[in-house]
Amino acid sequence: MKFAQFLLKNGSVAGIPKQVDRFSKFSPSPLSMKQFIDFGSANACEKTSFVFLRQELPVRLANIMKEIDYLPDKLLNTPSLKLLTSWYSQSLLEIVDFLEKDPDDKEVLTNFTQTLVNVRNRHNNVVPTMAQGVTEYKDTFGVDPVTNQNVQYFLDRFYMSRISTRMLMNQHTLIFEGSVNPAHPKHIGSIDPSCDVVEVVKDAYETSKMLCEQYYLTSPDMEISEVNSKNPGQPLHIVYVPSHLYHMLFELFKNAMRATVETHETSPTLPSIKVRVSLGSEDLTIKMSDRGGGVPMRKIERLFSYMYSTAPSPVHEDNSRNAPLAGFGYGLPISRLYAMYFQGDLQLYSMEGYGTSAVIYLKALSSESVERLPIFNKSALRHYQTSTEADDWCMPSKDPKKLGKYDR
C-alpha cells in the first residue's frame, strides 16, 4: 500500500495502516436531517453521541483514506499531500484512542469534545492544501484524461467525506459544549429546523453585492419571487443547514454578478439577477438567472472540474491561513457537493450570448434529506483502474469526405 508505505517511511505511528484496514471494512452510517434534529432536540444525550461518533468518525475517515492510496504516486509525493495525509493519520489515531474509554466518565466526554474541536481545527485548510497539491502536480506533470477522471472522482468523494465529518463534529461540539448561539437560539447545532430560504438568499446577495461594488464600483439588482405550492402565501421554510445553503448561493451570486458586470460594462444600466424560489411536495428549488452572456455548452462540465480550473492560483503570505476557495476555482464543484450532501443537486443551464441559469435542488422533507456518503468497495476501486479506451461514437472529422466524386 502506497499510503501505508508513505506513513511508515515518514516515521508515523506504525498502527495507522492497521487501523485504516480495520475501520474501512465497515460502511458509514448515513443520517437523515430528521435524525439529526430528533437527536439534538429531544433530551440530547452526550453519552449516546460519544459512543456513535467514536466508531463512525474512524469509519468515515478510514474509507476515504483507503482511496488516497489510488491517487497517482507523483501526486501523493507532493509536499501538500504529505502534509494532508499526516493530518488524517493523526486525527484517526486521536479518535480511535477513545474506543476503550468509559462513556460514563464525565472527563472522558469533555476530552472527546475537545479532541473533536482540535481535529476540526487541524482540518480547516484541507481544501486549499489538497488544491495546492493538485496544482503542484498539474504544473509539473500536466494533465492526461485518465488522471483527470480519477482525480475528479476522488476529489468529489474526498470533499464530500470532509463535509460529512465536519457536520458530525459540528453537531456534537455545538450541542454539548453548552454554548447556544444568541443570534440563533432555535438552531440545533448547525441545523435550522425552520430555515427561511428567502432570507438566506437575501443575505448571500447582500454580501456578494458588497464585494462586487468594492471591485467593480457597481452591481446588478436582484428580483426575487417565491412560490409556495404547499401553503400558498406562507414563507418558504425547510429543515436545513443555513451555512451550506449560504455557501452555494454566495458562489452563484458572485459568478452571476461578475458575468453581468463584465458583459454590460459599456451599458448605462445592468440587467437584474432574477431569483425564483419554489416549494413543492418533494423539492425546494432555487433558480438564479443572469444575463451575463452565458458560456458554451462544451465548457459547462469543465466549470465543475478540479483539474481544468482556469482560476490563477492564489498567492499567500501565510499559506496556512488565508486560502480562499475561489482562488482555486473550486467554488462551483464544492457548492454542488453541498447540494448533493443531503440528496439535492446543483445544475447550470446556459444560453451562450445571453446568460446562465443556475438551479439548486433541495429535499423539502427532512426524512428524505439523508447524507450522501462515499464508501470504499470494489465498485469504487474499479473507477481508479479505468484505462483509456477507443470512443464508441464516431468523432466528427474537420475535413469531411468529398462524397460528390469517386476516387480510384
- In which region does residue 146 sit, left (phi positive, over 0), alpha (psi from -120 to 50) or beta (all else)? alpha
- Of 61, 72, 37, give the one whose Cα is nearest residue 342: 37
Which of 56, 138, 255, 274 is labelled catalytic? 255
* Cell 457537493, located at residue: 337
Is 254 marked active-site? Answer: yes
DSSP assignment of 225-292: EEEESSSTTS--EEEE-HHHHHHHHHHHHHHHHHHHHHHTTTSSS-PPEEEEEEE-SSEEEEEEE--S
- Of 326, 328, 331, 310, give the one whose Cα is nearest residue 129: 328
* Cell 484505462, located at residue: 387
Yes or no: say if 301 and 214 are a contact pair by the CB < 8 Å rule. Answer: no
Yes or no: say if 348 and 248 are a contact pair by the CB < 8 Å rule. Answer: no
Is 251 marked active-site? Answer: yes
Is 124 marked active-site? Answer: no
Which of 56, 67, 136, 251 is labelled catalytic? 251
Look at strands 273-279 and 283-289 and give their pairing.
antiparallel
Which of 202, 254, 287, 316 is labelled catalytic? 254
Is 244 marked active-site? Answer: no
Which of 247, 274, 363, 371 is labelled catalytic? 247
Write out the catalytic residue numbers.
247, 251, 254-255
